[in-house]
Amino acid sequence: MARRYLILSLIGLAVLTLIWKTFWQSGEWFAPRPFRDTDPPPLPPPPEIAAPMPPLYENYHQAELSLPQHHWEQTRPNKDEKFLFVAGHSRGCGWGNAMQELILNAYMAYKSNRSFVFANYTWNDNGSKYSEYNGKKIPSLIPYSALIRGPIVGGPYPRGDHTPLSVHRDYFDHVCSQKTTFIREDISEIIDYKNSAKEIVDGWQHKLERVDEPCVQTAPNSGQIFNFDVFGDPKAMLDIWPELSDSPILTHFGWSPLVELAFDNNRDLFFTSGSPWSYLTDRPFTTNADRYSAIPGLMAIHVRRGDFEGHCMHLASFSSQYNAFNSFPDMVDPFVPPPRDRWEAHQEEHRAIYREHCYPSIEQIVRRVRQIRRTPAARGLKKLYIMTNGDKQFISDLRAALWRDQDWEAITSSRDLVFNWEQKYVAQAVDMLVGQRAQVFIGNGWSTLTSNVIMMRMANRFRPETTRFW
């Protein structure tokens, strides 16, 4: 039997060798058949699938226009209607900048007992639907109601407050064919300390109290009322904060249902295992403080990357202090800039100081997280969330370094959030909501995103020692 199998194997091998010589060496084995005129044409390559265009939020626009305080049948204001529209609001800037300006503008209208006229978060107001940022298309306009809710965007004031409700700019233009226009200098010339937010608000309030015309706006080309000079001045918010923080502009500020849904859908990143929680989208809105309480066990850190490196070195060149909302006396990490007159002789030393506080390295981030985690306010921390615009490699390296240094239940980042198509373009607001609710937050003193997080934490009476800086 063994001899018979051997003979059969040798015969099979010989046959295979003959076939190989006949076809493979002649180039005919699996060779493509020549194309003939009678053959069907080859199939074209599949078309490239174009990326979908950014959302335009039409439903949000329509909902804003349908607010009950809009009486579209009218062609002029009612006798009890008075409006204030800041036409020179910011454009082409990040949501952090736009949000803090929006809050101050709305508060100024509130103090003047006029309807605040809100428009859109505006990247480009040239009539285009889309703009470009970093080589990618973004919406030119996003309705504010896709980002926030509350009196600022036409929501009700608390019971007993009879301030006129906010209206949309389109309604303002519809009923106000004649407008009274002021420029920023009409008020700034009577203000002693031009960066004081309170003096600016009080100045406009005093001016508008003597104006009977219902339709008032600032000139579109006169610039922002509250600009970088205000928000970058560490003293600018000190005198206005007690009244601003107690006003419905902040006590009844809320994040939009779109933003809250994104938070709920990603809640596993923020809540520790076994921790009870309720879905924001299942609860009726009450107040800012009630709705956005602290999440036990969560540390959130804000790590700016990208073009912020150059910005930090620019700040160092004129010994910039922390932004206004990051400079309250209660903050436990005050920043004292090196003297500006020593810049020329000590440039590298100054840059190193600003780099550590403004653009810290991975090693510096790890060390600072370790320091703060050892404080009493940080007891029970289990999850770490990184709010960042850093690239994937940076985040991967940072997470690995944080894991090696200390034990965490989870370390996640902005890149781990799962969004629908509309939420993708309001992602900064989701990060702000997370930072606002963290048990401990570490922020960047020169960032407006950090400023807004701290503004909400302070308004909701979070203990100062839970809010830190690099």
Domain with residue 239: its CATH number is 3.40.50
Q: Which domain holds residue 268?
A: 256-469
- pTM here is 0.87
Q: How far apart are CA 314 and CA 145, in angstroms?
A: 35
Q: How far apart are CA 146 and CA 163, in angstroms?
A: 23
Number of domains in the chain: 2
Q: Which residue has the higher pLDDT, 187 or 407?
A: 407
Regarding whether 440 and 378 lie in a shared domain, the answer is yes
Regarding whether 283 and 406 lie in a shared domain, the answer is yes
- HEC-encoded secondary structure of 203-271: HHHHHHHCCCCCEEEECCCCCCCCCHHHHCCCCCCCCCHHHHHCCHHHHCCEECHHHHHHHHHCHHHCC
| Boundary of a domain, candidates 206, 226, 248 | 248
Residues 405-448: pLDDT tens digits?
999 999 999 999 999 999 999 999 999 999 999 999 999 999 99
Residue 4 domain-assigned (yes or no): no
Regarding whether 276 and 128 lie in a shared domain, the answer is no
**Those residues with Cβ within 8 angstroms of residue 165's Cβ, 6 or more apart along the chain or in another chain:** 67, 69, 115, 151, 154, 155, 156, 157
Residue 10 domain-assigned (yes or no): no
Share of residues in the chain with pLDDT > 90 (%): 77
Regarding whether 222 and 330 lie in a shared domain, the answer is no
Write down the pLDDT at residue 30. 39
Write down the pLDDT at residue 82. 97
The token pair at 141 is 């306009």
Share of residues in the chain with pLDDT > 70 (%): 88
| Boundary of a domain, candidates 248, 275, 305 | 248
- Most confident range (mean pLDDT) of 3-12, 17-26, 35-44 is 35-44
Least confident among 78-82, 192-196, 417-421: 192-196
Regarding whether 422 and 306 lie in a shared domain, the answer is yes
Helix (H) or strand (E) holding 300: strand 295-303
